Amino acid sequence: MKKILDWLSIPYYFNSSNKFKITISFYIGLFVFIFLYLFKPFNLISLEGLLLKYTSAIGLITFFGVFFVLYIPALIFKTYFNEDNWTIGRNLLLIIVGIFFNGILIWYLSSNIKSSENFENLNLLTFLKYTYLVGTIPVVFFIFINEKNVREKRERRAHDINKYNKEKRELEKKELDLKAEIFSENKKESISFNINDLVYITSQGNYASLFLRKEKEIKEKILRVTLNKVEEKLKIYPNIIRCHKSYIINANFIIDIKGNARGYILKSDIIPMDIPVSRSFSKQSLQKLLK
């Protein structure tokens, strides 16, 4: 049981693009049509001349039903569908709910078509049982294979990046003694610091939290300014990189990069947590994070 729970908690990539949702909806609808038309399960052979019309309608309603499940809940429950919190368990729950929703739609359509042609229809519970039986096993198998492939791909890329940057770290580092100053929105307050002491910056609404190295500790300083303006001010320093919409980091303090099915994370021996990396980062941008 613990292994199953651990597997369900594994980070999983939730693709929020509409192109992906339309594509996956199309292929699922096409699969349902082909499966029903060729194999004629659940006594569909009795439909005879009605079979093509019936299976086409089922495939079409499956397409729209799957797209609805992938598109609408993500719009309403944005926090729940946040890709940073998405796991295999949440993905499975979405699939279970999606199969249930589509099962009811297909059963309703099936009832109307069969009743208009005087064919006997299955009751709802039996129909849902068959729907889950046909749909759940291949979907779970797909999730397992997809998660494994994406995770291994990320791990291989992370390994390549770490190897590349390990070679770069062997070169002599030039310590810069550069001063930087960030002003607040109203220009009345500011924070001055040595750029080599800046560990990372994160945003808290309209405020930016700057974490500065002070001997062996990290001190936090807060200033009312957006992360975009901080990024604009510090873009002249090549080691200061915005790796995420909520984080700016000093690449000199990053020692490792890891990959999983959701994306990449940065690790440091003085930062107490993992720093996420935006999915829009290219491999070349990732390589600049480690020096």
Q: What is the pLDDT of residue 137?
A: 64
Q: In what order do the strands lie in the sheet with 264-267?
A: 256-259, 264-267, 275-276
pLDDT tens for residues 100-156? 988 898 888 878 777 776 667 778 888 888 888 777 766 666 667 666 777 787 788
Residue for token pair 């492939």: 149
pTM more than 0.75? no
* Rounded mean pLDDT, 173-180: 59
CB-based contacts of 211: which residues, under 8 Å, 6+ apart? Answer: 198, 199, 200, 201, 202, 218, 219, 220, 221, 271
* Rounded mean pLDDT, 239-244: 90
Would you kindly state where each structural domain of the chain is located, as residue ranges?
A: 2-161, 175-287
CA neighbor of 163 nearest in space, from 250, 264, 286: 286
Q: What is the pLDDT of residue 230?
A: 94
CB-based contacts of 181: which residues, under 8 Å, 6+ apart? Answer: 190, 191, 192, 193
* Rounded mean pLDDT, 182-191: 92
Query: Is residue 170 very low, low, confident or very high in pLDDT (cuts 50, 70, 90)?
Result: low
Q: Is the pLDDT of residue 242 over 70?
A: yes
More confident residue, 220 or 11: 220
Residue 221 phi/psi, 5-degree rounding, is -125, 135
Give the architecture (CATH level 2) of 175-287: Beta Barrel (2.40)
Instruction: Express as a percent the part of the chain with pLDDT over 90.
Output: 22
Amino acid identity of 96? I
